[in-house]
């Protein structure tokens, strides 16, 4: 059951009014609003047939747009935007939060993170455009993989997003945002297990309008937005265009290059829509959106801290010469620079990253929505396309030295294509229903076009060498050259080709058993076909030609020659007398390669006998070659040729059963049982196929929606209990063949979530509108014995840990947000206004393995706006402050680092209507 297009009942959706009826109704409402606030009687733009009403989505947002007047407030609490028709918010038997577009615009809440701070029990979890995630009721904060569907879905203008990064851009010209909780998919769109965020933008109209805003702010910020439209051909063709520009420096500069700032904004986007209404019974809306490639710095801002002296079991954390402190103390680095561990590396909010690059992202989309009035039914068709591009080049060592570069990877193209058809009955009978079908295909081509995901520079060999390797190689010029060339210019690439197809059929019906009682039932079946293939290989040998390993996974030929290893893999004892000696496994070709290496670094004479030149080296020289080969092999890790993973094919159900009882005009109670599944995650890890089982969610909910004090106070409450079976989560497994651990996205067998949610608004004070939402959530692993160990347990003999009984990652027990908007007529035709939004979160653990060092303390964040404008909205000037009290709570914390939050920002905005 989905609260699509928002506050309306979770009933099977009925037909929209005809174009003429809808426009007449909205015109009447807007005239009433204009009269209530004493505004000029000119009617604002009337929506098209595919947009039920331009009235605000939430009562609080709606009432807040007026200067004063109880008549307007009561009117707006009755009429709200619904899924397919105009409905009352209190009739929705579902835990749902709604935020109006005007509220978001007041405080420049442009992205999904700012939006979620204005709804109950939904969180945008920390990460860049590709790695962030959304969670509802504490579930969903996991490290995403390309082959994995999100637990929390997203819909934009009727088009489902199957890939979380599509929601990482700014939202603009927004009509409303709705958050529906619990499994979704029996009404429309794609199936999800924990809920959906639905964003609806403003649609074309036959009444001309235009609005604009320009914000100039701290850190050279410029935010400009324009939206408007009107008729192209009266009563036949209308358009709407919108554009947004959001550019500004970030609060933290890269000390290596001060022009590079972290958390900067570099976003430009535009959307154009056309509406065709050749008859009252048919409409077509086409939309095209482009967000070109832009560069933002997010990765690389990690404030380093001293590694604790002990592991959890009391053992010391080891030889400090092997950690960053020891590496920076090596003469290789002290002879180059004055950069030091204590004064420059630790605690620095301005990291010195010589090879960090901006994250390049872009997205484009198009959709065509067709609607027919068939008399007793309405038919809707939505055809859509969306793509996404991501490219990261990370400097993972966080120093000014030439160590690591080109990290992160490249998503050349995510593409999704969908076709959805829905048939809705007209309302009024014993049963109202909607049936539909969705064909959905999405693909990810990762790393196919220069997809380097790891690279090394001139200083990498000296950085990654252990103490013994460093001592052996730093002894003379030849050894130092080997140390440099072991990794210099080496680049590794990973590819992944994900191909997913799904076909879903669904239906939902409202059975009106009595005037007060309605039973909603819904059922969906989705057939998933998910495939994946990938490789991990050397993309560029760099300077170390000849130092490669002999082979990788499954005999993947890497082009090296075979020698006795530098040190025993278990005891770590250096093979001083045999290390680097050739083995009998070498072919003539490999022996000739060994001769080339001996000649290059030690001047050995190559003869007609393969291997003779190499064998002429001294044992210390052979040991140096073995050390260089070991450094290279350790950094390359496991490599494999193209592997096709085991596919996932299954038909998965979703269903809902929800009785609703209307106690009286002001109180409605409901109960619901919702069940949903999402597809398995098909992966390739270390050259082998791993498939995470489908995630299965059963959610029970009872709720009460009430109006008090002459409908000035609305309070909606919900109690929920959710069981999650096979929650998709990072896990650790023992590889029996190699007796080593493998980390991948698998399943936590059981998760349990229970709690209470409240959502409401109050308009009883003159000129003031209050909105509030909060939740108590207890989200725990009921059974999960194979989690990866946290950092403080890295020395443990058992490489996985049991998290049963512990809270889920990112699951705060208490969350709350409150917003207020004050508007007062002044100076005749002017309005003074001020507003704020405060979001609170209790403490939570930010680490997937629940490290004891990863707790994020409770925190408050407040956005604030104050301004003066004309009552007809022709011109307005406002001061906007984000993070008013400069809360500095970290976003993420580990045992030796943290990612800082964004500090206070302020700007001046001017806006108006044309």
The pLDDT value given to residue 407: 82
**Average pLDDT score over residue span 384-408:** 92
User: Secondary structure of the chain: what % helix, strand, coil (to 5)?
Assistant: 15, 50, 40
The pLDDT value given to residue 411: 74
Indicate whether 451 pLDDT > 80.
no
Indicate whether 17 pLDDT > 80.
no
Q: What is the pLDDT of residues 294-332, one digit of tens each?
A: 999 999 899 999 988 888 888 888 656 568 999 999 999
| Selection from 827, 822, 811 nearest residue 771 by Cα | 822
| Selection from 162, 123, 181, 590 nearest residue 416 by Cα | 162
- Lowest-confidence region among 78-87, 484-493, 777-786: 78-87
Q: What is the pLDDT of residues 576-623, one digit of tens each?
A: 999 999 999 999 999 999 999 999 999 999 999 999 999 999 999 999
What is the per-residue DSSP string for 551-589?
B-GGG-B-----B--SB-TTT--B-TTTTTPBPTT--HH
The pLDDT value given to residue 89: 61
Kindly state the helix (H) or strand (E) to which residue 486 belongs, with its residue range: none
Contact in structure between 771 and 56 (CB atoms under 8 Å): no
Q: What is the pLDDT of residues 521-578, one digit of tens each?
A: 999 999 999 999 999 999 999 999 999 999 998 899 999 999 999 999 888 999 999 9
Q: What is the pLDDT of residues 248-285, one digit of tens each?
A: 999 999 999 999 999 999 999 999 999 999 999 999 99
The pTM of the full predicted model, rounded to 2 decimals, is 0.89
Q: Which residue has the higher pLDDT, 244 or 50?
A: 244
DSSP SS3 for 294: strand
Strand partners, 671: 702
Distances (CA, A) of 759 to 442, 717, 858, 901: 35, 6, 21, 27
| Selection from 73, 32, 269 nearest residue 166 by Cα | 269
Distance between CA atoms of 543 and 631, rounded to whole angstroms?
Answer: 14
What region, left, alpha or beta, does residue 717 occupy, with left being phi > 0 and alpha being psi -120 to 50 degrees? beta
The pLDDT value given to residue 51: 34
Tokens (6 digits) for 328: 């920076």
| Selection from 460, 529, 479 nearest residue 500 by Cα | 529
| Selection from 588, 355, 614 nearest residue 463 by Cα | 355
B/e letters for 87-102, b = 16+ CB within 10 Å, e = fewer, are bbbbbbbbbbbbbbbb
DSSP SS3 for 910: strand
In which band, very low, low, confident or very high, does the pLDDT at 68 lie, cut at 50, 70 and 90? very low
Indicate whether 34 pLDDT > 50.
no
Indicate whether 23 pLDDT > 70.
no
Tokens (6 digits) for 899: 């990612």
Indicate whether 85 pLDDT > 60.
no
Distance between CA atoms of 480 and 459, rounded to whole angstroms?
Answer: 11
Q: What phi and psi values does residue 677 have, to the nearest 5 degrees?
A: -135, 155
The pLDDT value given to residue 40: 37
Indicate whether 677 pLDDT > 60.
yes
Distances (CA, A) of 902 to 348, 844, 859: 15, 19, 13
Contact in structure between 876 and 870 (CB atoms under 8 Å): yes
Contact in structure between 295 and 359 (CB atoms under 8 Å): yes
The torsion defined by the Cα of 307, 312, 314 and 318, in degrees rounded to 10, comes to -40
Tokens (6 digits) for 507: 């239906």
Distance between CA atoms of 166 and 96, rounded to whole angstroms?
Answer: 22
Indicate whether 29 pLDDT > 80.
no
The DSSP symbol for 204 reads -
In terms of average pLDDT, the best of 144-148, 365-369, 891-895 is 365-369
The pLDDT value given to residue 534: 93
As a whole-number percent, the residues of the chain with pLDDT over 90 amount to 79
Distance between CA atoms of 778 and 390, rounded to whole angstroms?
Answer: 35
| Selection from 54, 48, 4 nearest residue 371 by Cα | 48
The pLDDT value given to residue 446: 87
**How do the domains of the chain map onto residue ranges?**
559-636
Tokens (6 digits) for 626: 């073995």
The pLDDT value given to residue 314: 85
Contact in structure between 821 and 768 (CB atoms under 8 Å): yes
Q: How does the average pLDDT of the chain come out, rounded?
A: 89
As a whole-number percent, the residues of the chain with pLDDT over 70 amount to 89
DSSP SS3 for 828: coil
Q: What phi and psi values does residue 741 have, to the nearest 5 degrees?
A: -95, 150
DSSP SS3 for 120: coil
Distance between CA atoms of 317 and 792, rounded to whole angstroms?
Answer: 9
Contact in structure between 696 and 702 (CB atoms under 8 Å): no
Q: Environment class of residue 733 by beta-carbon count within 10 Å: exposed (0-12), middle (13-18) or buried (19+)?
A: middle
Q: What is the pLDDT of residues 884-909, one digit of tens each?
A: 999 999 999 999 999 999 999 999 99
Distance between CA atoms of 825 and 66, rounded to whole angstroms?
Answer: 10
Indicate whether 396 pLDDT > 90.
no
The pLDDT value given to residue 453: 82
**Average pLDDT score over residue span 1-27:** 40
Tokens (6 digits) for 11: 């009933």
Strand partners, 304: 346, 897
Q: What is the pLDDT of residues 88-143, one digit of tens each?
A: 666 777 898 889 999 999 999 999 999 999 998 999 998 899 989 999 999 998 77
| Selection from 678, 722, 721, 720 nearest residue 696 by Cα | 678
What is the per-residue DSSP string for 812-827?
-SEEEEEEEEEEEEET
Distance between CA atoms of 906 and 901, rounded to whole angstroms?
Answer: 16
Distances (CA, A) of 309 to 329, 424, 510: 18, 65, 63
Q: What is the pLDDT of residues 635-657, one digit of tens each?
A: 999 999 999 999 999 999 999 99
Contact in structure between 405 and 458 (CB atoms under 8 Å): no
Distances (CA, A) of 818 to 199, 327, 543, 889: 21, 49, 59, 19
| Selection from 143, 8, 116 nearest residue 508 by Cα | 8
| Selection from 63, 60, 124, 125 nearest residue 97 by Cα | 60
Q: Which residue has the higher pLDDT, 291 or 799?
A: 291
Indicate whether 219 pLDDT > 60.
yes
In the chain, count H helices and then E strands.
13, 45
Indicate whether 419 pLDDT > 90.
yes
Contact in structure between 648 and 682 (CB atoms under 8 Å): yes
Q: What is the pLDDT of residues 809-853, one digit of tens each?
A: 999 999 999 999 999 999 999 999 999 999 999 999 999 999 999
């Amino acid at each position: 059951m989905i609260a699509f297009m928002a506050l309306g009942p979770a009933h099977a959706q009925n037909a929209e009014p005809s174009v003429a009826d809808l426009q007449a109704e909205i015109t009447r409402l807007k005239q009433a609003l204009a009269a209530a606030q004493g505004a000029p009687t000119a009617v604002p733009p009337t929506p098209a047939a595919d947009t039920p009403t331009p009235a605000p989505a939430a009562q609080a947002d709606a009432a807040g747009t007026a200067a004063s007047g109880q008549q307007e407030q009561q009117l707006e609490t009755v009429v709200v935007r619904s899924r397919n028709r105009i409905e009352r918010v209190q009739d929705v038997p579902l835990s749902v939060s709604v935020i109006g577009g005007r509220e978001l615009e007041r405080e420049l809440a442009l992205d999904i993170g700012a939006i979620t701070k204005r709804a109950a029990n939904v969180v945008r979890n920390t990460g860049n455009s590709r790695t962030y995630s959304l969670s509802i009721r504490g579930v969903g904060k996991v490290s995403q993989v390309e082959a994995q569907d999100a637990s929390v879905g997203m819909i934009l203008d009727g088009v489902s997003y199957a890939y979380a990064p599509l929601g990482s851009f700014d939202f603009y010209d927004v009509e409303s945002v709705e958050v529906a909780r619990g499994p979704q998919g029996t009404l429309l769109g794609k199936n999800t297990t924990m809920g959906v965020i639905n964003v609806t933008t403003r649609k074309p109209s036959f009444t001309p309008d235009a609005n604009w805003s320009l914000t100039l702010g701290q850190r050279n910020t410029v935010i400009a937005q324009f939206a408007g439209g009107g008729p192209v051909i009266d009563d036949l063709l209308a358009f709407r265009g919108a554009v947004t520009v959001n550019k500004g420096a970030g609060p933290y500069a890269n000390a290596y290059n001060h022009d590079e700032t972290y958390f900067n904004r570099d976003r430009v986007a535009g959307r154009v829509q056309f509406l065709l209404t050749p008859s009252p019974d048919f409409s077509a809306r086409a939309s095209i959106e482009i967000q070109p490639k832009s560069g933002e710095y997010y990765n690389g801002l990690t404030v380093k801290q001293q590694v604790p002296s002990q592991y959890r079991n009391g053992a010391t954390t080891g030889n400090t010469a092997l950690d960053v402190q020891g590496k920076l103390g090596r003469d290789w680095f002290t002879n180059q620079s004055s950069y030091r561990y204590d004064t420059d590396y630790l605690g620095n909010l301005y990291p010195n990253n010589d090879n960090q690059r901006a994250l390049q992202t872009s997205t484009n989309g198009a959709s065509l929505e067709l609607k027919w009035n068939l008399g007793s039914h309405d038919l809707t068709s939505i055809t859509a396309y969306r793509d996404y591009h991501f490219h990261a080049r990370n400097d993972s060592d966080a120093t000014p030295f030439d160590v690591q570069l080109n990290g992160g990877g490249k998503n050349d193209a995510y593409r999704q294509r969908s076709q959805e058809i829905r048939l809705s009955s007209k309302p009024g009978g014993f049963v109202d229903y909607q049936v539909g079908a969705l064909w959905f295909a999405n693909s990810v081509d990762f790393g196919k076009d220069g997809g380097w995901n790891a690279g090394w520079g001139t200083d990498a060999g000296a950085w990654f060498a252990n103490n013994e390797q460093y001592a052996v190689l730093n002894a003379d010029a030849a050894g130092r050259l080997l140390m440099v060339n072991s990794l210099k210019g080496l680049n590794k690439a990973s590819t992944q080709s994900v191909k997913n197809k799904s076909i879903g059929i669904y239906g939902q019906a409202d059975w009106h058993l009595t005037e007060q009682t309605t039973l909603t039932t819904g059922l969906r079946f989705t057939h998933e076909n998910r495939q994946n293939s990938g490789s991990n290989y050397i993309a560029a040998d760099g300077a170390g030609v000849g130092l490669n390993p002999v082979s990788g996974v499954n005999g993947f030929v890497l082009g090296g020659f075979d020698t006795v290893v530098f040190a025993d893999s278990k005891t770590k004892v250096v093979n001083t007398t045999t290390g680097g000696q050739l083995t009998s496994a070498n072919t003539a070709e490999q022996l000739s390669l060994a001769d080339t290496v001996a000649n290059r670094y030690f001047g050995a004479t190559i003869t007609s006998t393969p291997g003779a030149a190499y064998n002429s080296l001294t044992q210390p020289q052979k040991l140096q070659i073995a050390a260089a080969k070991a450094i290279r092999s350790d950094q390359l890790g496991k490599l494999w040729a193209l592997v096709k993973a085991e596919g996932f094919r299954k038909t998965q159900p979703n269903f809902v059963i929800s009785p609703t009882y209307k106690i009286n005009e002001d109180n409605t109670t409901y109960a619901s049982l919702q069940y949903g599944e999402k597809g398995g995650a098909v992966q390739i890890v270390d050259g082998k196929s791993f498939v995470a089982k489908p995630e299965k969610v059963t959610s029970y909910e009872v709720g009460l929606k009430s109006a008090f004090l002459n409908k000035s106070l609305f309070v909606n409450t919900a109690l929920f209990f959710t069981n999650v079976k096979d929650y998709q989560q990072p896990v650790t497994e023992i590889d029996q063949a190699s007796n080593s651990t493998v980390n991948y996205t698998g399943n936590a067998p059981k998760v349990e979530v229970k709690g209470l949610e409240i959502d409401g608004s109050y308009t009883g004070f003159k000129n003031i509108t209050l909105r509030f939402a909060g939740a108590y959530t207890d989200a725990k692993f009921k059974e999960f014995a194979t989690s990866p160990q946290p950092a403080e347990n890295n020395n443990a003999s058992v490489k996985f840990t049991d998290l049963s009984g512990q809270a889920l990652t990112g699951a705060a027990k208490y969350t709350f947000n409150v917003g207020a908007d004050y508007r007062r007529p002044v100076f005749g035709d002017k309005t003074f206004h001020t507003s704020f939004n405060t979001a609170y979160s209790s403490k939570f653990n930010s680490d997937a393995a629940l490290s004891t060092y990863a707790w994020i303390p409770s925190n408050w964040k407040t956005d604030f706006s104050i301004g003066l404008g004309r009552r007809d909205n022709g011109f307005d000037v406002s001061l906007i402050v984000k993070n008013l009290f400069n809360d500095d709570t970290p976003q993420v914390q580990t045992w030796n680092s943290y990612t800082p939050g964004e500090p206070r920002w302020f700007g001046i905005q001017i806006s108006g209507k044309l």
